[in-house]
Amino acid sequence: MELQILSPAEDHAIYFRAFIDQLVQKFKPLQIFSFFKNTYTQDDQGCFKEKADTFHCNYCLLLVTESNTRIDHEVQDFTNGNYKQGVITILCHAKEAIEEAIIANNRFFITVCNSTGDAL
């Protein structure tokens, strides 16, 4: 078997997918939407330091839950403790509340929910 070296982005994709799996197992959301992603690479090098490349990826996610019980703080604490390669901000809303907001013409939820290519 040949050893393959992954690019920082490919390595991060594996790490991020593992984090999403943990998030799903713990909170059991109906759906997760990614409505913002910012990636950046940092290259550090100098005469007193070995060259180091760092890849970071920041996200904003919408977690759709079945229950109206607010779990925002618990989800964000879990995320902050388990995702170390950037920052993830998570909004949590019940499916029913999102549906009501869409009926009330809430542009945020309409836009996020219509961006089906960004559902995780």
Domain residues for 82? 28-118
- Tally the domains of the chain: 1
Q: Do 72 and 83 touch, CB atoms closer than 8 A?
A: no
Task: Sort strands 49-65 and 31-46 into parallel, antiparallel or unpaired.
Answer: antiparallel
Does residue 103 lie within any of the structural domains? Answer: yes
**Cα–Cα distance between 5 and 20 in angstroms, integer?**
23
Residue 8 within any structural domain of the chain: no
Please write the tens of the pLDDT for every residue from 60-104: 999 999 999 999 999 999 999 999 888 999 999 999 999 999 999
Q: What is the pLDDT of residue 12?
A: 80
Is 89 domain-assigned? yes
pLDDT for the residue numbered 51: 79
Within a domain: 112: yes
pLDDT at position 7, please? 72
- Residue 114 resides in a domain: yes
pLDDT at 4: 66
HEC profile for 48-109?
CEEEEEEEEEEEEEEEEECCCCCCHHHHHHHHHHHCCCCCEEEEEEEHHHHHHHHHCCCHHH
